């Protein structure tokens, strides 16, 4: 089971689905309209790839906060494979939470840290990532609109 924490380092003890439900209930009780954006970023350091997956809760016109999960892999892989792995980690969480988000009428976006500009290397994974995410029925965002992966998760692995 993945371990999740808040940005301040505080551990989330509940299973992530329960923690997200409690968070949505609290935020909606406080009058906030929420959107959830899920993204993953990775960083290769020598023989290890470090991943950070984030669940970003956006309060309409009132900022936001995030939950973070980190993990590592020592598997050697191409850039394209790493990009698809990132997307897979995000989709896994989105899939686990989508019924819950529907229940509370919370909009969901899956963000991929993949550039839409063909001059960037990560662009090689764009079609597959987009097909994967859209095929699962999720709203897809890539750079420069994928802040959950390219800004939030990026802060954790860098």
User: Closest Cα partner for 142 from 108, 109, 99, 102?
Assistant: 109
| Range 37-59 average pLDDT | 95
> What is the pLDDT at residue 155?
83
Question: How confident is the model over 96-133, as pLDDT tens digits?
Answer: 999 999 999 999 999 999 999 999 888 999 999 999 99
**Beta pairing partners, 143:** 115
**Average confidence score pLDDT of the chain:** 94
Q: Is the pLDDT of residue 1 over 80?
A: no
The domain segmentation of the chain, as residue ranges, is 4-157
**Beta pairing partners, 140:** 110
Q: Is the pLDDT of residue 158 over 80?
A: no
User: Closest Cα partner for 79 from 126, 117, 116?
Assistant: 126
Lowest mean pLDDT among 38-42, 62-66, 145-149, 151-155: 151-155
Q: Which helix (H) or strand (E) holds 4?
A: strand 4-6
Cα gap 106→24, rounded to integer Å: 8
pTM for this prediction: 0.93
**What CA dihedral angle connects 36, 55, 4 and 91, to 10 degrees?**
100
| Range 77-106 average pLDDT | 96
The CATH architecture annotation of domain 4-157 reads 2-Layer Sandwich (3.30)
CB 125 within 8 A of CB 106: no
């Amino acid at each position: 089971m993945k371990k999740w924490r808040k940005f301040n380092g505080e551990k989330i003890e509940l299973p992530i689905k329960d923690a997200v439900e409690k968070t949505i209930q609290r935020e909606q009780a406080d009058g906030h309209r929420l959107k959830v954006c899920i993204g993953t970023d990775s960083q290769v350091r020598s023989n290890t790839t470090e991943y950070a997956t984030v669940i970003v809760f956006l309060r309409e016109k009132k900022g936001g906060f995030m939950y973070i999960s980190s993990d590592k892999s020592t598997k050697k892989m191409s850039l394209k494979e790493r990009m698809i792995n990132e997307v897979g980690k995000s989709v896994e969480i989105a899939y686990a939470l989508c019924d819950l988000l529907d229940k509370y009428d919370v909009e969901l976006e899956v963000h991929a840290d993949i550039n839409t500009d063909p001059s960037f290397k990560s662009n090689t994974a764009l079609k597959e990532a987009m097909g994967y995410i859209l095929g699962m029925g999720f709203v897809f965002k890539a750079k420069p609109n994928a802040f959950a992966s390219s800004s939030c998760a990026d802060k954790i692995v860098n």
